[in-house]
Amino acid sequence: MFITNDSFFGLSTSRQVNMNRYTIEQHLEIIRIYYQSACSVCRTYRALREIFGQRNRPTERSIYRLVEKFGQTGSLVNKSTHVHRRGAQSEVNIAAVSQSVRDDPNPSIPRRSQELGLSQTTTWIILHQDLHLKAYKFQSENLMIIITPAVFINYTYMQALLSEYLLIVQQCRYAELKAVY
């Protein structure tokens, strides 16, 4: 016997329902009602109003697809999706690139890929996605080592001197242009 109260079905939103939202028990209940209603999708759709409510029941097309899938496979479980296998991004290659970066962080991606015998794309993907390293960008650890308070003060001082120098150059050019005209 199936429980048909709202708490079992857990559908309280008023939007169109996707069949993936239903549990196996709910799928089984839909199939049971379909066969009890003389294999009529329309009658099943009407009968599901009592269980799911006016707005939360599956569409007629969803009921038809569920019954069709059940007839073809004999199962209510969704087919498993193919998982993309990462061939070149194996643990061995990731470890090799990681060790290469630890040994010498300076070589470019083409040079590093040639040394390791990997494609440039694979090396780039491993560096970016697996090791979270970006080329030509200061990494957070390096940034903390390079910028100390003294260096930061010197940097701001140099920036102030540079802005003063540029202001003086602009004033000189303005004076030269004024003298010519």
Query: Does residue 141 have a pLDDT over 50?
Result: no
Is the overall model pTM greater than 0.85, yes or no?
A: no
Overall average pLDDT of the 26-42 stretch? 91
Cβ–Cβ under 8 Å, residues 120 and 88: no
- Model confidence pLDDT, tens digit, residues 67-90: 999 888 888 887 777 776 667 888
Give the structural domain span for 23.
6-73
- Decide if 29 is inside a domain: yes
- Model confidence pLDDT, tens digit, residues 169-181: 777 766 766 666 6
Structure tokens at 19: 């069949």
Query: Does residue 66 have a pLDDT over 60?
Result: yes
- Decide if 79 is inside a domain: no
User: Among positive and negative, which fits the CA dihedral 97, 133, 109, 88?
Assistant: positive
- Decide if 131 is inside a domain: yes
- 16 plus 43 within the same structural domain: yes
User: What's the number of domains the chain is made of?
Assistant: 3
- Decide if 26 is inside a domain: yes
Overall average pLDDT of the 80-109 stretch? 83
- Decide if 84 is inside a domain: no
**Alpha helices for the chain (secondary structure H):** 6-9, 24-36, 41-52, 60-73, 91-103, 109-116, 120-125, 140-146, 149-180
- 155 plus 130 within the same structural domain: no
- 99 plus 127 within the same structural domain: yes
Distance, in Å, from the CA atom of 52 to the CA atom of 153, rounded to the nearest integer, reads: 68
- 34 plus 61 within the same structural domain: yes
Query: Does residue 158 have a pLDDT over 70?
Result: no
pLDDT at 130: 85
- Decide if 172 is inside a domain: yes
pLDDT at 35: 92
pLDDT at 114: 93
- 59 plus 99 within the same structural domain: no
Distance, in Å, from the CA atom of 158 to the CA atom of 164, rounded to the nearest integer, reads: 10
Rounded to the nearest integer, the mean pLDDT of the chain is 76
Query: Does residue 145 have a pLDDT over 70?
Result: no
- Decide if 1 is inside a domain: no
pLDDT at 171: 75
Q: Within a 10 A sphere around the Cβ of 43, how many other Cβ atoms?
A: 14
Overall average pLDDT of the 49-69 stretch? 90
pLDDT at 118: 92
- Decide if 27 is inside a domain: yes
- 151 plus 129 within the same structural domain: no
* Short-list 93, 121, 130, 170, CA closest to 178: 170
* Short-list 137, 114, 113, CA closest to 126: 113
